[in-house]
Structure 1
Amino acid sequence: MVWTAILTLPYAIGSPPDYKIGPLPGLFFTLAGLIHALIFYGNAYLLYPKLFNRRYWGLYLISVLFLLVGSFQLKHALLIQWFPEVNPDFTTNKFIYPPSIGIFVASLIYRKIIDRIHREKIRKEQRAIQLDSELKLLRSQINPHFLFNVLTNLIALARKKSNKLEPSILRLSDLMHYMLYESQQDKVLLTQEVDYLNSYIALQQLRFGDDVRMDIALPQVNETKNLRIDPMLLVPFVENAFKHGTGWINEPTIRIHLTVQDEMLRFNVSNKYDRSLDTNKDKHSGIGLTNVQTRLDLLYKSQYQLKIIEKDNLFTVNLVLKLT
């Protein structure tokens, strides 16, 4: 588009029959434009990429000099042979020498801009690959961590010879299906994540029955619309509440509230907590919460707020997340 404008410029601003610009006919400017295009693309796509380095620096300078001097000679020869009526003088020389140098400088700037864009594209692609690898690693860490805790729950039911063991295994089957298939997607429907939370909470209710007071409020399908979320993002908070909010805790209480309004998710999880009585705390404790915070940083950056508060024997997690 730019070169079309340059080549046809004399015919846009000149007057017939020669469409002159100053003393020179329009045809000369068109032919000179073709020479300038050769300088521009020859340097930008041939000389600069192949020779502009420490090894071939001298050869690059010689090639550029040859390219420019050759353009001077060619334009001068065109002027003498094709347009003998034009007398070469200082005015005509202004249209022979400076444009070649200016086009060469423009090609250098263009090449540097193209290289910068290319480097930035590669950097972004590498960063995307790195982020994808990090996310896959984080998800792979969540699954065995989560599964370990659920199996611990099932062992407790088996020891009690509880009739809740079979429905618990069925619930676990639903959870495993989600973990193995749905969680491999980049994003899942929020309804799927909520269903997963419901299954996990139901599994815990089968285990604890009335021993743990649960205050659960999760949104209905019509409230979540077609909003999407990173899979397995919310359950570590719930898992943490059941792991550290039960056991020897006096009158254990777990509160799980999730609301969605105007694409803004608000998730609140709280549980009674006594550090001195927490028999579930070990060197692996906190993996889930650390993991999910890292994922939030990678995926949502400034689109989330996470507050974790431990006060008055109450452990509370508040997550505000902008969904799309």
Structure 2
Amino acid sequence: MLPSIIEEKKMKNTYIVKSIVIGLFLFAVMVGVVIFFNQGSYIVDQAIQSGKNSEEAKSILINSIIAKGISVLLLVALFCFGSIISKKSIEKSRIRFLPLMFMLFAILYGGMCALVHEFLNPFYEFSLLRGALNDSQTFKALPPFIYYSIIGLGTLFSSMTFSLLTIQNTKPIGASLKSFGSRFWVVNYFLNFLILIVTYFATIGIQVFSLTFIFLILNLLISALVATFIGSLVLSTILESGKWAFNNLSERVTLVFVSIFGVFSFVLILGVIAFGLDSSFLTSLDQVPSILVRLLVFAIISGTVAILVWKFNLAGVRTQLQIASSESELSLLKSQINPHFLFNSLNTVYGLALKEESPKTAHAVQQLSEMMRFMLHENHAEKIPLQKEIDYLRNYIELQTLRISQKDHFQLEVDVAEGCQGEITPMVLIPFVENAFKHGVSFQKPSWVKIKLTCNAEEVHLNVQNSVHKHGEDPEKGKSGIGLENVRKRLGILYPEKHLFQIYETEDSFEANIKITLI
């Protein structure tokens, strides 16, 4: 049951990420279209001022729209292609080859876009943004394929980060960003924001409560969020199962830096698309080296903060992860138990119905419905009244008794206390009783089951004894393998140092002795 639920949650998380990316892309395209049509007349004016007639100027505008539309479509195809390659590389742990591959495909994209513009729109100097352009700011000074190659490279880096967030299977290296827990994200965000605000106010003098101050705070809040995400990416590459791991270092380093550049590249690409792949963005190309250096410093600081938060377990971030992992394992163990009991119970009713039509069948169905109601409503609670657990145990014993009541060679002794108080985690007692009936009943050989349950205000004590038959007729014998070991793990998680679990086994008998301190 639970594995399918987990897969469904993964799919939902994947759909959320995909919806966000698609939504932001469509929003950027919409903004670009609005700006292009609102300021398209400016391109016409520029063309007329440069000596073109009105018809030629309008043709330049139309061709420019077509050329930029083709460039955007090719960009989408490049993003999808990069996502496919990234996922396969992550699965096969061959990430270190991605940057070189990305550069080759980015150059190919840049060349294709340059050819499209050369054929449809050779007048690259006509910018959407108002303001005259110098020759050094136009495609005349810089070949168009370089400009589009940089855009393509940023898109491929973005597709890598997208793949990390949407990949279904467990990553071969590193930890999942979702596994850190909310406490880690809050503490990490607070520290990043504190560092940013101290740095800005120490280097820049700004009047408090001014309009500039408000915009600065908003900018720092967003920057702290980006820093938190980047720092988490850095940390995730050097953690495996909550422990430091530095094997396959080249893969890890490549993974984190390509992912970091992908975060900023995605924001950059959205901005470029929103302004219609405008040629005026060429003015920022000379700032790329300094931007990369700043990004590297930003990543180092953010990564260091995340590592320190994890290393020193600030605010118990690792403890929260351990609790979450235990709860996840516990849910899985519980989900393994429920179908097993339901299967056995249904088999009992089915066998009884085949043999005879009698009031016993109705009684059995009624008891089974009570058990199903318990599993549907009570079993998912963290704690339930102990008496409800005992009532479920009684229903189960009575249901099993129906199929063995006519067997003279079978002896059943049941001594279950009444009026037990306190609360207990559901489904921790029944596996021992179920195990006794499963392995202690033979239809040919003498067999026996003894069940005794006592309780007081502080603890509950269950003792179950049964015969053992090496060659039982139960076709399900030996197929489960999850019963008692399952409960042992659950008790270790739920009642650490507050339970007693003893097993005594011989060739022809089995005894389980359990004491649980109610908390």
TM-score (norm 1): 0.62
- Structure 1 residue 262: deviation in Å? 4.5
Alignment of 1:93-108 (within 5 A): none
Q: For 1:269, what is the secondary structure of its paired residue?
A: strand
Deviations 1:59-104 (A, max 9, x none): 89xx69xxxxxxxxxxxxxxxxxxxxxxxxxxxxxxxxxxxxxxxx
The corresponding residue for 2:451 is 256
Larger Rg: 1 or 2?
1
The answer to whether the aligner puts 1:220 opposite 2:366 as a matched pair is: no
The corresponding residue for 1:201 is 397
2:428 alignment partner AA: L
Alignment of 1:39-118 (within 5 A): 49-50=195-196
- Structure 1 residue 239: deviation in Å? 0.6
Higher strand fraction (1 or 2): 1
Q: Distance in 1 between matches of 2:385 and 2:191?
A: 47
- Structure 1 residue 277: deviation in Å? 3.6
Q: Which moved more, 1:292-301 or 1:204-213?
A: 204-213
Q: For 2:497, what is the secondary structure of its paired residue?
A: helix
Q: Distance in 1 between matches of 2:195 and 2:311?
A: 13
Deviations 1:181-239 (A, max 9, x none): 01110011101101111111111122221423211111111xx22x1111011111111
1:303 alignment partner AA: K
Determine if contact 2:330/2:490 at 8 Å carries over to the other structure: yes
Structure 1 pair 116/243, CA: closer, same or farther in 2 (3 Å)?
A: same
Q: Between the two proteins, what is the percent identity of the paired residues? A: 35
Q: Distance in 2 between matches of 1:239 and 1:216?
A: 14
- Structure 1 residue 322: deviation in Å? 0.9
1:296 alignment partner AA: L
Alignment of 1:296-315 (within 5 A): 296-315=491-510
Q: Distance in 2 between matches of 1:323 and 1:46?
A: 43
2:502 alignment partner AA: K
Alignment of 1:267-278 (within 5 A): 267-277=462-472
Q: Distance in 2 between matches of 1:278 and 1:142?
A: 22
Determine if contact 1:219/1:259 at 8 Å carries over to the other structure: yes
Q: For 1:149, what is the secondary structure of its paired residue?
A: helix
Q: For 1:247, what is the secondary structure of its paired residue?
A: coil
Q: Distance in 1 between matches of 2:507 and 2:310?
A: 58
Deviations 1:138-178 (A, max 9, x none): 11111101111111212221221252222111110000000
Structure 1 pair 115/243, CA: closer, same or farther in 2 (3 Å)?
A: closer
The corresponding residue for 2:343 is 148
Structure 1 pair 215/113, CA: closer, same or farther in 2 (3 Å)?
A: same
Q: Which moved more, 1:244-253 or 1:162-171?
A: 244-253
Q: Distance in 2 between matches of 1:231 and 1:46?
A: 43
Q: Distance in 1 between matches of 2:334 and 2:494?
A: 13
> Which of 454, 469, 484 matches 1:289?
484
- Structure 1 residue 116: deviation in Å? 7.4
Gaps of at least 5 residues in structure 1 are 1-43, 53-58, 65-111
Determine if contact 2:499/2:514 at 8 Å carries over to the other structure: yes
How many pairs does the alignment contain? 224
TM-score (norm 2): 0.39
- Structure 1 residue 249: deviation in Å? 5.6
1:158 alignment partner AA: A
Structure 1 pair 250/185, CA: closer, same or farther in 2 (3 Å)?
A: same
Gaps of at least 5 residues in structure 2 are 1-189, 204-306
- Structure 1 residue 286: deviation in Å? 3.1
Question: Cα RMSD between the aligned structures?
Answer: 3.1
1:214 alignment partner AA: L
Determine if contact 1:244/1:278 at 8 Å carries over to the other structure: no
Higher helix fraction (1 or 2): 2
Determine if contact 1:303/1:321 at 8 Å carries over to the other structure: yes
Q: Distance in 2 between matches of 1:283 and 1:237?
A: 15
2:500 alignment partner AA: Q
